[in-house]
């Protein structure tokens, strides 16, 4: 069983890190040896229920220790993993189950007032094998559903028949610009990007890694679960991000590594009771997926004590493409996404689009050769849909999404540039800029601003700040103050939603 498969990597971790903690979730504390045992029993359940190598197993649940065991158990049984976004409706989830051909479903019981399984059963698309996770406690038995507690009654599975080039996972894109597509990766690729990320942040067995990024997203799964597995770090999942709870977890579990969208780190910095907690264990923060203010990078080091703050760039089809280095200054960290990593090449097309090529570009989209051909050209370049530039050092600066660019009076405006300027204004916690229709200029900017706690801002102050630092056509025409920005599961702002609100 090669270490270039996740079952092989897990077996190697059990040998190397044996009695070290692998998973900490509330009262559950599993060593690497115990994790391997749990995974083999879960795989034994799948095998006993008819799941065979090459089949697909869907997991629809929040970040808990069960998710890790279920995902690795599916791999140990030789199946491909299909993570399902917990924010999807029953109809969207049913679509994923149907298109992936999942033969088994691991699903949370009632969580946050929603019974996902009951909603799914109404669609008639539930696979024949269902394993239920008791996130909020045991529930009454349901016909055709195996409860998690029953796994102890299954024999541990033997080593699976799985190779490095077999499909390890099918991750469906967020679908914010159309119907979601299933990006397929092999075991070799999944572990390749995880190893590159782990090396870049110098992840070790001494690290304790708080994972608030959803496991169903490539970052939480590959730069989270798989990275920790490869380096023997302890994984501490949080089912839903709660800043007060996160502060307690950081203190109690001596967390050292904390990736997350800028809003996660901003909320920690701004929490009124932050100073009551011992956060001295924090070592490295990784952020991205949105505009990162220079001031936030500085505060993470100065106020939270992170020795290293990094930004990165990636996408479902390639996971981690570029990363900053530990010695980069705050301005570089905030305004760039670093240099290529994980064997990737990055080029900028004449249109400004970022092109990516390397060994870890997805195998293709599930059952969609046309979309695959449109995304990956004949020379192997993945067309990302992002606009950017490379500086003289080879650092990548993300200008914007192609679709987010708007034209004001004949001039291209990249919202990310405007957002970076507004984020430097004191009292601004978050900002997102979109174009809105204008009879004279075609489109003009509308800035959505989230003020920092305890700060009051007005439109004149924001626009005056912009006029000092931006050409006139880049200055937004309106400012809307909001309490939060709409985001997808990876923390990216849903500009589409904001554009739909521009008529308000």
Q: Which of 196, 430, 208, 469 is nearest to 310 (CA)?
A: 196
Provide the token pair at 370: 């046309």
Whole-model pTM: value is 0.85
Q: List the chain domain ranges.
A: 6-17+28-163, 190-401, 405-500
Find out whether 102 and 130 touch, Cβ atoms under 8 Å. no
Alpha carbons within 13 angstroms on the beta-carbon side of residue 462 total 31
> Rounded to whole angstroms, how far apart are CA atoms 26 and 69?
16
- Each residue's pLDDT tens digit, 50-61: 999 999 999 999
> Which of 228-237, 368-377, 468-477 is predicted least confidently?
468-477
Per CATH, the number for 405-500 is: 3.30.300.30
Provide the token pair at 479: 């400012």
pLDDT reported for residue 271: 92
Q: Which residues contact 169 (CB under 8 A, 6 or more apart)?
A: 80, 81, 82, 83, 184, 185, 190, 221
> Rounded to whole angstroms, how far apart are CA atoms 348 and 354?
5
Rg (CA), the chain: 23
Beta bridge partners of 493: 487
> Rounded to whole angstroms, how far apart are CA atoms 289 and 280?
26
pLDDT reported for residue 417: 82
Q: Which CATH superfamily is domain 190-401 in?
A: ANL, N-terminal domain (3.40.50.12780)
Q: How much is the average pLDDT of 112-132?
A: 90
> Which of 12-21, 134-143, 216-225, 377-386 is predicted least confidently?
134-143
- 221 backbone dihedrals φ, ψ, rounded to 5°: -80, -55
C-alpha 445: how far from chain center: 28
In this chain, the answer to whether the domains covering 6-17+28-163 and 405-500 adopt an identical fold is no
Placement of tokens 């400004």 in the chain = 352
**Candidate CATH numbers 3.40.50.280, 3.40.640.10, 3.40.50.980, 3.30.365.10; the one for domain 6-17+28-163:** 3.40.50.980
- Characterize the bridge pairing of strands 167-172 and 146-147: unpaired
């Amino acid at each position: 069983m090669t270490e270039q498969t996740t079952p092989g990597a897990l077996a190697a971790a059990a040998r190397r890190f044996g009695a070290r903690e692998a998973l900490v979730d509330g009262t559950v504390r599993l060593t690497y040896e115990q994790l391997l045992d749990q995974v083999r029993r879960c795989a034994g359940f799948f095998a006993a229920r008819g799941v065979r190598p090459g089949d697909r197993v869907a997991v629809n649940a929040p970040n808990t220790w069960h998710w890790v065991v279920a995902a690795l158990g599916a791999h140990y049984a030789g199946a491909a993993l299909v993570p399902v976004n917990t924010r999807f409706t029953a109809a969207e989830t049913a679509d994923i189950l149907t298109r992936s051909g999942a033969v088994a479903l691991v699903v949370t019981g009632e969580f946050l007032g929603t019974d996902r399984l009951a909603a799914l059963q109404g669609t008639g698309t539930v696979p024949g094998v269902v394993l239920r996770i008791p996130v909020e406690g045991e529930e009454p038995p349901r016909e055709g559903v195996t409860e998690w507690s029953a796994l102890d009654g299954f024999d541990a599975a033997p080593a699976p028949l799985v190779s490095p080039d077999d499909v390890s996972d099918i991750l469906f894109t967020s679908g914010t610009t159309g119907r979601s597509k299933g990006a397929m990766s092999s075991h070799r690729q999944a572990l390749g990007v995880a190893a590159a990320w782990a090396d870049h942040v110098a992840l070790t067995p001494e690290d304790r890694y708080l994972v608030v990024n959803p496991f169903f997203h490539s970052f939480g799964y590959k730069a989270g679960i798989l990275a920790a597995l490869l380096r023997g770090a302890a994984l501490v999942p949080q089912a839903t991000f709660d800043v007060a709870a996160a502060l307690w977890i950081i203190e109690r579990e001596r967390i050292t590594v904390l990736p997350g969208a800028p809003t996660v780190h901003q909320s920690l910095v701004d929490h009124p009771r932050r100073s009551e907690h011992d956060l001295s264990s924090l070592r490295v923060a990784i952020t991205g997926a949105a505009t990162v203010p220079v001031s936030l990078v500085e505060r993470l080091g100065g106020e939270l004590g992170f020795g290293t703050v990094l930004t990165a760039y990636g996408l479902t089809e390639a996971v981690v493409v570029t990363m900053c280095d530990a010695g980069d200054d705050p301005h570089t960290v905030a305004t760039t996404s670093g240099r290529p990593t994980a064997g990737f090449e990055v080029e900028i097309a004449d249109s400004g689009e970022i092109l990516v090529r390397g060994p870890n570009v997805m195998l293709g989209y599930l059952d969609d050769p046309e979309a695959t051909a449109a995304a990956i050209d004949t020379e192997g370049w993945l067309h990302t849909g992002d606009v950017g530039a490379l500086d003289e050092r080879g650092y990548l600066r993300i200008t914007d999404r192609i679709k987010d660019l708007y034209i004001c009076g004949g001039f291209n405006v990249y919202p990310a540039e405007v957002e970076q300027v507004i984020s430097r204004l004191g009292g601004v916690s978050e900002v997102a800029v979109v174009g809105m229709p204008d009879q004279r200029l075609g489109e003009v900017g509308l800035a959505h601003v989230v003020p920092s706690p305890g700060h009051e801002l007005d439109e004149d102050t924001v626009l005056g700040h912009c006029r000092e630092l931006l050409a006139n056509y880049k200055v937004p025409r309106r400012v809307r103050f909001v309490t939060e920005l709409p985001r997808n599961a990876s923390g990216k702002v849903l500009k589409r939603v904001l554009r739909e609100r521009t008529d308000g």
